[in-house]
Amino acid sequence: MSHLPHRSSEAVPRAVALLAVLSLVPLLVWDAAPGEFPDRAHDPLAALPLASIAVACLGRAVLRRVPFPDLLKSGALAAAFLFWAANQLWPDHPRATLFNDIAVGLFVVDVFLAIAGWPKSESRAATQAERGRQGRIPPENAGEAAHD
């Protein structure tokens, strides 16, 4: 079963991701000339790209109908970006440090899981099995790659 949707269904997450990238411009302009912006302008300027990329990340996973473990991992990554965005948007909030620490924890777990190879997606397992058939994975490991 293919988890790849029609390319047009990815237009919205791509547009939101592009918004995230484009919203970096005013943030970096603020860094170069903060006096040219209203007081506290940095807060929403920093939060917007983080929140936008969170929405794009989760939206893409949902629209692609990825397996549940991949959706869970995308959700955790999106949550990390949203907690970071909250910390940027409300730096004086009594829970701002907690927002930041949750983001840090989620990012560290995300990278750990990527290094550990979890979740093993169907396409990754199929690619590893194909490499095994082509002799690029030692034969004793090819079966494991296909079934992990």
**Per-chain mean pLDDT for the chain:** 87
Q: Tens digits of per-residue pLDDT, 47-69? A: 999 999 999 999 999 999 999 99
Q: How far apart are CA 51 and CA 47, in angstroms?
A: 6
Q: How far apart are CA 143 and CA 129, in angstroms?
A: 7
Q: What is the pLDDT of residue 9?
A: 79
* pLDDT confidence band for 31 (50 / 70 / 90): very high
In the chain, the amino acid numbered 68 is F
Tokens 């692609």 -> residue: 64
CA 121 to chain CA centroid, Å, is: 16
Q: What is the DSSP code string of 115-132?
A: HHT-S--HHHHHHHHHHH
34, with CB counted inside 10 A (0-12, 13-18, 19+), is: exposed
Tell me which DSSP letter residue 8 carries. Answer: G
pTM higher than the cut 0.85:
no
Give the mean model confidence (pLDDT) for residues 120-137.
63
